[in-house]
Amino acid sequence: MSGSINLSQVRTARWLPGLLLMLLFSLSACQPVQAPAASAIPAFTIAVSDDAVSAPEVVPGGIVRVTIQNNSSIPMDIGLARVLEGSTSEEVIALAQGGEEAFIPLLTKASFLPSVNPVDPGAERWFYVDLRTGVFVVDAAEHVEGMPGAGALHLNAVFSADEIVGVTEPVADVAVDMVNFAYAMPDEIQAGPQLWQFTNSGEQWHMMFVVDLAEGAGV
Could you tell me which residue, 150 or 191, shows the higher pLDDT? Answer: 191
Backbone φ and ψ of 100, nearest 5°: -60, -35
Could you tell me which residue, 92 or 6, shows the higher pLDDT? Answer: 92
Q: Quick one: pLDDT at residue 3?
A: 47
- Interatomic CA distance for residues 141 and 75, integer angstroms: 9
> Sorting pLDDT into bands at 50, 70 and 90, what band is 22?
very low
- Interatomic CA distance for residues 55 and 126, integer angstroms: 14
Element (H, E) at 68: strand 58-70
Task: Domain ranges for the chain, please list them.
Answer: 43-200
Q: Quick one: pLDDT at residue 17?
A: 23
Q: Quick one: pLDDT at residue 87?
A: 98
Q: Is the pLDDT reported for residue 5 higher than 60?
A: no
Under 8 Å between Cβ of 158 and 94: no
Q: What is the mean pLDDT of residues 109-114?
A: 92
Q: Is the pLDDT reported for residue 148 higher than 50?
A: yes
What is the second-level CATH architecture of the domain 43-200? Sandwich (2.60)
> Sorting pLDDT into bands at 50, 70 and 90, what band is 205?
confident
Could you tell me which residue, 71 or 10, shows the higher pLDDT? Answer: 71
User: pLDDT digit string (tens) for 31-73?
Assistant: 334 455 555 899 999 999 999 999 999 999 999 999 999 999 9
Q: Quick one: pLDDT at residue 198?
A: 85
Cα 94 to Cα 56, 110, 147: the distances in Å are 21, 12, 16
> Sorting pLDDT into bands at 50, 70 and 90, what band is 9?
low
Q: What's the whole-model pTM score?
A: 0.75
Under 8 Å between Cβ of 148 and 41: no
**What share of the chain in percent tops pLDDT 90?**
52
> Sorting pLDDT into bands at 50, 70 and 90, what band is 93?
very high
Contacts of 49 (CB under 8 A, 6+ apart): 71, 72
Q: Which residues pair with 127 in a beta bridge?
A: 66
Contacts of 77 (CB under 8 A, 6+ apart): 6, 8, 9, 115, 116, 117, 118, 119, 140, 141, 142, 143, 144
Contacts of 106 (CB under 8 A, 6+ apart): 5, 92, 95, 96, 98
Q: Is the pLDDT reported for residue 20 higher than 50?
A: no
Long-range contacts of 11-16 (CB under 8 A, 24+ apart): 11/146, 11/147, 13/100, 13/101, 13/103, 13/104, 14/100, 15/100, 16/103, 16/104
Q: Is the pLDDT reported for residue 30 higher than 70?
A: no
> Sorting pLDDT into bands at 50, 70 and 90, what band is 142?
very high
Q: What is the dihedral of CA 53, 56, 58, 60, to 10 degrees?
A: -110
Average pLDDT in the chain? 81
